[in-house]
Amino acid sequence: MKLTKSDVTLNEKDALQDMLESEKQLMTLYTTALFEGSTKSIRKNFSSNLLGVAENQYTLFTQMSTRGYYQPQPANKNLIDTANQTYKKQKSQLKAK
């Protein structure tokens, strides 16, 4: 079976999605590296790179959102209230210890 260019070329939506996922993975890797960094200079470098990747990720997100490729659903108020109550309870339990 012979593949054509259209068989192996990503469309715009898929290319943006792939880039967004790559930036998210880089953010995870830089966060871990920052935690593990043992000198100020290397931690500063990882921190700087993490902020750059975060900016790239947000730019990709806004581009996808503008084009209608990424439409996050609004959070349900009940879920937000439940999460707030859970974390307030945990916070008060931690303070009590």
Supply 19's token pair. 């880039």
> Residue 33: what pLDDT?
96
- Per-residue pLDDT band for 29 (boundaries 50, 70, 90) equals very high
Q: Is 68 left (phi over 0), alpha (psi -120 to 50) or beta?
A: left
Q: Using the predicted structure, report yes or no on whether residue 71 has a pLDDT greater than 90.
A: no
Q: Both tokens of residue 60?
A: 């990709």
Considering the entire predicted model, what is its pTM?
0.67
- pLDDT, mean of residues 21-50: 96
